[in-house]
Structure 1
Amino acid sequence: MLSFNSLDLVLGGNELFDNISFTIHQNQKIGLVGVNGSGKTSLFKIITKQIEVDPSCFSHSPDLRISYLAQEVKSSDKKAIDYVISGDYELVKIMEQITIAEKNEQFELVASLYEQYSILDGYSANSKAQKLMNGLGFKETDFNKSLNEFSGGWRVRLNLAKTLMQPSDLLLLDEPTNHLDLDAILWLANWIKHFKGALILISHDRDFLDDCVSFIAHLDASRIDLYKGNFSQFEVLRSMKLAEIKSNYEKQQREIEHMKTFITRFKAKATKAKQAQSRVKSLERMKLIIPAHIKSPFKFSITASDKTSNPLMVFKEAGLGYTSPVISNLELSISPGDRIGLLGSNGAGKSTLIKSIVGELSVLKGEKEIGKNTNIGYFSQHQVDDLDLSISAFEHIQKLDITKDEKQIRNYLGSFNFKGEKVSDRVNLFSGGEKARLAFAIIAYKKPNLLIMDEPT
């Protein structure tokens, strides 16, 4: 169906793939995992021809239908329901041809086109699009709104619905649960289970991967290994593999040391010289086992402000919303040390509450009191989108504090796993995960004592 053969790829001076080969078969559902910057999104871009590689290294069936979830949705006056339906490109093409043929009174052609329209299941397209939108949290009143009326997060949901609308043999989903609430994630997992086609899924959500895939493709050290099973099973199999490599490596090192000792001791003795020479040749022919290397997970800490307030923030009988209250009579006190998880269905007011806490919305009724020393740090996808792609991670931190020298800034970025040349690379070369990590590093540098995180993973 689709295969890579001895693929090499270097981007921005970084080697992403070194002689990787693997094949994707019909109906396989594969989770693509690896650390940030290992090449997951780049692999998608090769499949979708956004990155060109040697044709001998990548091939697929000529009639393979690929549906790819893009992360950006441009503003438009197009109705939401029409935008979702436009994912079925062949159907839209037939609809456009029908409009032209009817206008030109080409009635025989119109009849032929309607036959094709029926074969493509065009009569149920509107119903299918509505079901996709409902599953992803849209209300019936949203169907005829223009794209301009939706926030960035909701546009991403529309893009996901459009991607699912497209008939495909291979579905590529890159972090599809971004901007989805729990209900929408559960709905999407169920949709994927019933999808009759192959899937490659990039996700940091372990439970979502467990629900959706039966194979794991692991990118590590510029290579890729395919494991049968979901993510939890992959972790067990990989641990066993690493343990076996470690054991074999240590055994070989003991054997090498024993042979070297024998050679050193007996090479000058006539009675043992032949045996010593034999061991020298054995060492030269020996295929060395590469030691297992596990990248250590980095750890970071957020240094809180020197001063704080208790409570940090209080809402009293507060009405929160844009023009009319979505949340009424709110009584909430946030104190140092609190750990609060925010759950709720679409429209329950999660975004409204967060925007009211960070000051993007004013309270409509009641009171909001902020502590004198309250320092808010707010992480969301908007902070990631607002990064300056033309400058480096080093320059982002330097702009926050011009008093720090290079060593201090590098040490700080190193605590967020930005090391070596990565510190000086322009942000446009970063993966999505690396951008999110940088946005978080910027927030942490400001030493917040009230941290608000909207879908941080």
Structure 2
Amino acid sequence: HGCGKSSLLALLTGDLHPDKGDLALDKGRGLAHMAQEIDALDRNAVDYVLDGDIELRRIQQNIFDAEASGTHEKLADLHEQLLRADGYTARSRAEQLLNGLGFHHDVLKKNVRDFSGGWRMRLNLAKTLMCPSDILLLDEPTNHLDLDAIVWLESFLKRYPGTLLVISHDRDFLDAITDHILHIEHQTLFQYRGNYSAFERTRAERLQQQQAAYDKQQKLRAHMEKFVERFRAKATKAKQAQSRLKALARLEDISAAHVDSPFSFVFPQANKMSSPLLVLDKAELGYGGKPLLTLNLNIQPGSRIGLLGANGAGKSTLIRALAGELPLISGQVHQGEHLSIGYFAQHQLESLDFNASPLLHLQRLSP
């Protein structure tokens, strides 16, 4: 974080200019990148996405103007341009993009302003993917996506014929779609062939070799310094001592290999454990007396459970019920005698005290 990934993308889009040196960029059909803000709040979702194809919108406007002014001799040429720009399939392609990113058909006519922040980011992503381009820049595109949408985006990007430059902290996503990794370290850009897993292997080997070279050089340096110390004052060996000193000065500085974050972390062990930890028996969960889920669930110590389901299926509802934040409509919940629950909510920010420092926040939780 903070090493300059987004700055590099901003340099390519022209939002930043190099402090020195030159930037030469052949954009070909153009460069597509995702806006962080939304400008047209009163467009419906499909039209907003179609606006991403600027050339298509220009041709459509020219057709509209020609029809309005009655200059029909231009129209045949304009419709030919529309055909070349895949204009006749554009609306269905925009709908397919939105569908892939998780928008249901019945919300496509809604205005942009009616969508929440996370869904607006998806609209911006769809608008970017709608733009014909030879270079596609994406800054953490999976941040607001659920699993289905990420899987769809992976398959879309695999088919993208241009050059893709993506910033991501999702290793599985990077493994699926990249064949080169650019790693920024100590203000230098290192390029690796292969996907993320290959990068990890190659980098580990490079660090190992660097450390071995460093250790070897340290031994050599110590040996030469010892020689100089012993024979500097001895007339017969003074010349050799001088040449060793010069050789020492010429030694290229190899720095010790270090991994950026060598911290270790351990989850504190509970003193006593109950089995089962938590049981839901014929539990009905929901809001305002309306059941959204009905289920039995038995959670044993050591289990690791992934929860999948479409948006609105009730995943967060179930988690809130397990954490004791949402009472059951009916049925029973049995908690183990020694049960202790850690709960990280979807909207965790709402439970933070913004006036407390990070350290104070932790001290309150664990005095």
Name the structure 1 match of 2:241.
276
CA change 1:196–1:339 in 2 (3 A) is: same
Name the structure 2 match of 1:255.
220
Corresponding residue to 2:139 among 174, 193, 201 = 174
* TM norm structure 2: 0.83
String of CA shifts for 1:6-42, please: whole Å, max 9, x gaps: xxxxxxxxxxxxxxxxxxxxxxxxxxxxxx2221122
* TM norm structure 1: 0.68
Aligned to 1:320, the other structure's residue is in SS state strand
Name the structure 2 match of 1:366.
330
Alignment partners' CA distance in 2, 1:68 and 1:130: 20
**1:170 CA displacement:** 1.0
Aligned to 1:171, the other structure's residue is in SS state strand
Corresponding residue to 2:263 among 294, 298, 303 = 298
Contact kept, 8 Å, 2:283 with 2:333, in 1: the verdict is no
**1:298 CA displacement:** 3.3
Corresponding residue to 2:356 among 388, 392, 400 = 400
User: Identity percentage over the alignment?
Assistant: 44
Contact kept, 8 Å, 2:28 with 2:134, in 1: the verdict is no
Alignment partners' CA distance in 1, 2:123 and 2:262: 35
CA change 1:336–1:93 in 2 (3 A) is: farther
Does residue 447 of structure 1 match 2:352? no
Alignment partners' CA distance in 2, 1:248 and 1:110: 70
Name the structure 1 match of 2:121.
156
Aligned to 2:235, the other structure's residue is in SS state coil
Q: How many residues align?
A: 362
Name the structure 2 match of 1:236.
201
String of CA shifts for 1:109-155, please: whole Å, max 9, x gaps: 33332222211110010121122122222222222222233332222
**1:239 CA displacement:** 0.8
Does residue 345 of structure 1 match 2:310? yes
CA change 1:142–1:359 in 2 (3 A) is: farther
AA at the equivalent of 2:203: R
**1:339 CA displacement:** 5.2
AA at the equivalent of 2:356: L
String of CA shifts for 1:238-257, please: whole Å, max 9, x gaps: 11111111111111111111
Q: CA RMSD in A?
A: 3.7
CA change 1:151–1:335 in 2 (3 A) is: farther
Unaligned runs of 5+ in 2: 270-275
Contact kept, 8 Å, 2:29 with 2:132, in 1: the verdict is no
AA at the equivalent of 1:144: K
String of CA shifts for 1:332-373, please: whole Å, max 9, x gaps: 58899875432123443324545677899887x4379899x9
Alignment partners' CA distance in 1, 2:262 and 2:253: 27
Name the structure 2 match of 1:38.
3
* 1:42-441 to 2 correspondences below 5 Å: 42-54=7-19, 56-61=21-26, 63=28, 65-73=30-38, 76-299=41-264, 317-320=283-286, 325-327=291-293, 329-331=294-296, 340-354=305-319, 365-366=329-330, 377-380=343-346, 382-383=347-348, 396=354, 399-400=355-356, 412=359
String of CA shifts for 1:245-301, please: whole Å, max 9, x gaps: 111111111111111111111121121111111111111222222222222343457
Alignment partners' CA distance in 2, 1:387 and 1:120: 49
Contact kept, 8 Å, 2:29 with 2:134, in 1: the verdict is yes
**1:180 CA displacement:** 2.1
AA at the equivalent of 2:202: L
Alignment partners' CA distance in 1, 2:290 and 2:22: 58
Alignment partners' CA distance in 2, 1:151 and 1:92: 26
Which one has a bigger Cα radius of gyration? 2
Higher share in strand: 1
CA change 1:367–1:106 in 2 (3 A) is: farther
Greater RCO (CA < 8 Å, at least 6 residues apart):
1
**1:179 CA displacement:** 2.6
Alignment partners' CA distance in 2, 1:78 and 1:323: 36
